[in-house]
Structure 1
Amino acid sequence: MRSLKAAPIAAVLTVGALALSACSSQGGPSADRTPATGITSNAPAKPKEDGKRVQGSPVRLVAEMDFPLDAYQLSAQDYERSQQALWKLTGSCMKSVGFASFDYAPTAGTADQIEDHEDLRYGTYDQQEAEHNGYRPSFTQGSKIAVIGGQEPHFTPEEEAALDGTSPERTDGTPKKIRTTRTGQSIPEGGCYGQALDKLTGGQGDTYLNDSLVEELGGQSYEKSLKDPKVIAVFARWSACMDQKGFTYKSPIDANNDPSFTGDAASTKEKKIAVADTACKASTDLVSAWHGAESATQRDLIQEHQTDLAKLKTLNTVIREKTNSVLASAPH
């Protein structure tokens, strides 16, 4: 995560590093400082047959511009609503198998914070933000990361067993399946959580939130955009603008990843460079040009992967429709 490899200036990050990553694991660099942006999804993913317990799902992106590939992912709002529907179905099942007091429900409203966040895929371009925080947006100060659905839930061992239909005990190295509760109530195959997930996805629970293809293509489009003649040209204009202000960088990526920008707070030097960066981005129309070039590349990639992407789009449509139906129904 230290060397600069073609990837976005800001994306989903772990606390403590500003990496250039293409909405995925495409690598990226940086000084040790607070993350650029990120939204953690702590709602449990579907339990697997290897005995893994109900647990948090992967980190998800908080803020990004509109791109053609967005059509093949659930939005943060869609995802949040789908989690509410998923746990409504799960809760109904848990009560039916004897857990009358089971009341876990994801916190609503977290995804709305996305509207307050600037997209930083191409680096900071808000001058006021740069003046105060350099390359460290205010919403990342204190290493605070928004969590869709609230904090990860904690369940009793009995609840866990009913949720995923397995026991911590193993037979010949494999998890032991449980089909009844201690009071004799029948547990559905895959547990209440697995059953709810299959209902939500039309039997495609294993692919719920599997954005690996979209993320891979997003990384490819970013890399390809750096070789686009329009982007190369606008980087040159930006570099010339920065040179006129007394700063020598070949690209905004180099400015963002200046190794001298260390510590928890932006130095005076970092702030000055970030302000110059935002001014030069504005005067050269860099963000618009870069975004246009990458969007064109994404449209080409979509054409190359039509079949697989169409399946994702269909699945997401199923999830949205089922979510709307579940949330519109009366509480069970």
Structure 2
Amino acid sequence: MRYVKNIFTTACAAVTLLALSSCAASGDIPDRAPQGSAPTGKAQRPPHGGNAQSSVAVEANPLPLPVQKYLLTPSKMSGIRSATTILVNACLRQRNVPPIDQTSAASQQSHPDPYEVGRRYGPIVKADMLTYGYHLPPSWFGGTAAHRKRISAQQEAALSGPSGCAAVARRELMGDRSLDSPVARQISSKSFVESLKDPKVKAVTADWSACMAKKGHSYTDPLQALSKADLKPPKPSATELRIAAADYACKESTDLISTWQNVEIKIQEKEIAKHLSVLEKANAQRAQIMAEADTIVDERG
């Protein structure tokens, strides 16, 4: 089975335009799940005393995975994005190039996932699955294209390259530091891969598959259902909506998500304990960058 970057890609999307992070491959979910995935069955107390914020948009709230504390996640990017846009626009003005529209830039970074675990095990929000099937709902895109201003060719040229404004802004804000934690991404990837071999996950996946078969759909696991969906059309077909509805019902009745994620939590906790000093060091470095970004926004925003 091949694995790809999708979970961390969500966080990387927040910095791609301004080249803040290398966003190396983390291999967090199977190749057969091209859009990523991540729900959780029943609301529970978050591990490590975390604060589980409820969301009216989520039918079955996912638990925050322990490794999320050490990953570059969307909620950690708000100040970074704002500060970087300020620095980029200062550079563009110096080169007599129109600045980037800050509202447009921010709108492209929306990620309505309060637990920031993507769609790791397939979609789970009932309302979204019944309306959009396996397609990503519009809320994931931060508004429609009509409300976004595209970067002009002049702006793109000024942003690009080692001496471009994106690189200038990155150097000014980050120097030789990194927002990323490769060890955290490796843990996130490893826990998912190892969870697939766990007897509890195999059993609950088999239960889900049997449930789907009773509803007339043949899939070995939720990720296969997601990967086989035709996501090329802008809207889901009636067939896709029926399958997605059955998928949600079977995830709920078998308690697949919480079972699967609890297995991952245990794996991650062991790995975090092994690499705690490295992870804490990376977190401290990121916190320093974020504090400096906040200062830029306060003083120059």
- Could you list the runs of 5+ residues in structure 2 that have no partner in the other structure? 26-34, 39-61
Does structure 2 retain, via aligned residues, the 8 Å contact 1:231–1:290? yes
- Structure 2 length as normaliser, TM-score? 0.66
**Distance change (3 Å), C-alpha of 1:298 and 1:110:** farther
CA distance in 1 between counterparts of 2:270 and 2:144 reads 33
Q: Which amino acid aligns with 2:288?
A: V
Does structure 2 retain, via aligned residues, the 8 Å contact 1:91–1:104? yes
What is aligned with 2:216? 246
CA distance in 2 between counterparts of 1:145 and 1:37 reads 20
Does structure 2 retain, via aligned residues, the 8 Å contact 1:80–1:111? no
What is aligned with 2:125? 126
**Aligned match for 1:291, one of 244, 248, 261:** 261
Answering whether residue 70 of structure 2 is matched by residue 72 of structure 1, we say yes
- Could you list the runs of 5+ residues in structure 1 that have no partner in the other structure? 13-21, 25-35, 47-55, 166-190
Answering whether residue 18 of structure 2 is matched by residue 23 of structure 1, we say no
Q: Please report the RMSD computed on the Cα atoms of aligned residues, expressed in angstroms.
A: 4.4
Shift of 1:71: 1.4
The range that moved more, 281-290 or 302-311, is 302-311
CA distance in 1 between counterparts of 2:155 and 2:217 reads 58
**Aligned match for 1:229, one of 199, 216, 219:** 199
Does structure 1 retain, via aligned residues, the 8 Å contact 2:8–2:185? yes
Q: How does 1:270-281 map to 2 (within 5 A)?
A: 270-281=240-251
CA distance in 1 between counterparts of 2:297 and 2:66 reads 28
**Distance change (3 Å), C-alpha of 1:310 and 1:247:** same
Does structure 1 retain, via aligned residues, the 8 Å contact 2:18–2:167? no
Q: Residue deviations 1:71-108, cap 9 Å, x none? A: 1233324324213213434555676xx55776446436
What is aligned with 1:110? 107
The percent of aligned pairs where both chains have the same amino acid is 25
- Give the SS at the match of 2:8: coil
- Give the SS at the match of 1:44: coil
**Distance change (3 Å), C-alpha of 1:326 and 1:278:** same
Q: Residue deviations 1:124-167, cap 9 Å, x none? A: 2234433343322333999x999xx9755755799569x955xx
**Distance change (3 Å), C-alpha of 1:145 and 1:238:** farther
Does structure 2 retain, via aligned residues, the 8 Å contact 1:217–1:301? yes
- Structure 1 length as normaliser, TM-score? 0.61
**Distance change (3 Å), C-alpha of 1:329 and 1:232:** same
| Structure with the larger strand share | 1
What is aligned with 1:314? 284
What is aligned with 1:81? 79
**Aligned match for 1:204, one of 158, 172, 176:** 176
Larger radius of gyration: 1
**Distance change (3 Å), C-alpha of 1:125 and 1:159:** closer
**Distance change (3 Å), C-alpha of 1:109 and 1:70:** same
CA distance in 2 between counterparts of 1:93 and 1:263 reads 38
What is aligned with 2:19? 45
**Distance change (3 Å), C-alpha of 1:323 and 1:62:** farther
**Distance change (3 Å), C-alpha of 1:253 and 1:160:** closer
Does structure 2 retain, via aligned residues, the 8 Å contact 1:77–1:112? no
Does structure 2 retain, via aligned residues, the 8 Å contact 1:127–1:278? yes
**Distance change (3 Å), C-alpha of 1:139 and 1:211:** farther
CA distance in 1 between counterparts of 2:157 and 2:3 reads 47
Does structure 2 retain, via aligned residues, the 8 Å contact 1:40–1:145? no
**Distance change (3 Å), C-alpha of 1:101 and 1:140:** closer
Does structure 2 retain, via aligned residues, the 8 Å contact 1:73–1:214? yes
| Structure with the larger helix share | 2
- Give the SS at the match of 2:112: helix
What is aligned with 2:51? none
- Give the SS at the match of 1:242: helix
Shift of 1:272: 2.1
Q: Residue deviations 1:33-79, cap 9 Å, x none? A: xxx99946443226xxxxxxxxx975999986522222123332432
**Distance change (3 Å), C-alpha of 1:192 and 1:242:** closer
CA distance in 2 between counterparts of 1:128 and 1:193 reads 39
**Distance change (3 Å), C-alpha of 1:129 and 1:219:** same
Shift of 1:317: 0.6
Does structure 2 retain, via aligned residues, the 8 Å contact 1:72–1:313? yes
What is aligned with 1:18? none
